[in-house]
Structure 1
Amino acid sequence: MSQTQWTWDLPSPFIMTVSAGFEHTDRLGHVNNTVYLQWMEQAAWLHITDLGAPWFAWQQADRAMATVDTHIHYHAAASSGSLLKVGTWLTRANRLHASRHFQIIRTSDGATLVTADIDYTCIAISTGKPARMPAFMVNAHQAGVTQPATP
């Protein structure tokens, strides 16, 4: 199935491709739910780096984004050998908060396996307390914000 046949929740996702291996499965032979979270985190980092905010710059600025709320819906299971596309979008960003939407699609049939929304707050790495994002982080986050498609 081609990418154009996949139904994404929002337009123009940032996409990371993963191949589910035996090491990702649980006792039921399905990809473990915690693995989906790890893949979403990897996709988020690749996306924000692509937008101009690599980790080393965050460290220099003493800033990080801490997860404060996660909503995940598991729609179907993947198994070892499945090729998956992890799509992500920034859906909100200001100087203190950001939100992301995720969608994981199985390439063989275009099925949406997982959808998730995660909210983040910017913190100072040194204290763990909320802190405003420096300009480079604000710019990267706001550049990546996707607006819902209009019908």
Structure 2
Amino acid sequence: MIEWDLPTPHILSWMVEPEAIDELGHANNAAYIRWLEQVAWSHTEALGLGLDVYRQLNRCFVARRTEVEYLAPAFEGERLQLGTWIVENDRRISMVRQYQVVREQDGVTLLRGNTRWVCVAMDSGKPRRMPHEFIDGYPLTQKES
């Protein structure tokens, strides 16, 4: 049983591939960053805000700052559960996505982190206000009381 930090995460199952393993025999820190991007994009698509919508709106989110706390290593062949939530949305230009990576076998949390995403125009890369599709489409996770 996985104990998620917040209720109702968007979850992506993942297998640690050989390419993720570094010289020390465990998943490299850069692999975790790629996994976080994968679960973020999976969540975005599940919310109905895929690349086609981004292009129509000429808006997308780019990572401004990512913070991660590596808690335990992942090894080749392990199955992981990547969870994510929207924990802040200023409804103007940025939102924060929180992550938790859990090893399926024993429920150990391997990583906690978050990314601040900034809304930009796709054609210029310059920060722009969120369209209503982003304001309404990226709902905040309601924390349990």
* TM-score tier (shorter): over 0.9
Match runs of 1:110-129 below 5 Å: 110-129=107-126
Cα deviation code 1:72-113 (max 9, x no counterpart): 000000100100000000111113111100000001110000
Runs of 4+ in 1 over 6 A off after TM superposition: none
TM-align CA RMSD: 1.0
Q: Which runs of 5+ in 1 are unaligned?
A: none
- TM-score when normalising by structure 1: 0.91
When the two structures are aligned, how many residues end up with a matched partner? 144
1:62 and 2:58 matched? yes
Provide the C-alpha distance between the structure 1 equivalents of 2:58 and 2:81, rounded to a whole number of angstroms: 32
- Contact 1:52–1:136 (Cα < 8 Å) also in 2: no
Structure 2 counterparts to residues 13-32 of structure 1, below 5 A: 13-32=9-28
* Paired position in structure 2 for 1:108: 105
Q: The residue matched to 1:87 in structure 2 has which SS?
A: strand
1:11 aligned residue = 7
| Residue 140 of structure 1 pairs with residue 137 of structure 2 | yes
Distance, in Å, in 2 between the alignment partners of 1:47 and 1:120 is: 14
* Pairs within 5 Å for 1:88-107: 88-93=84-89, 94-107=91-104
What percent of counterpart residues are identical?
A: 35
Q: Is the 8 A contact 1:106 1:112 kept in 2?
A: yes
Superposed displacement of residue 148, structure 1? 2.2
Q: Distance in 2 between matches of 1:70 and 1:44?
A: 12
Other-structure match for 2:68? 72
User: So what's the TM-score if we normalise by structure 2?
Assistant: 0.95
Look up the SS of the partner of 2:143 in the other structure.
coil
Q: Secondary structure at the match of 1:146?
A: coil
Partner amino acid for 1:43?
Answer: V
Partner residue of 2:144 out of 140, 144, 149? 149
What is the CA–CA distance in structure 2 between the aligned matches of 1:125 and 1:42, rounded to whole Å?
20
Q: How far apart are residue 147 of structure 1 and its match? A: 2.3
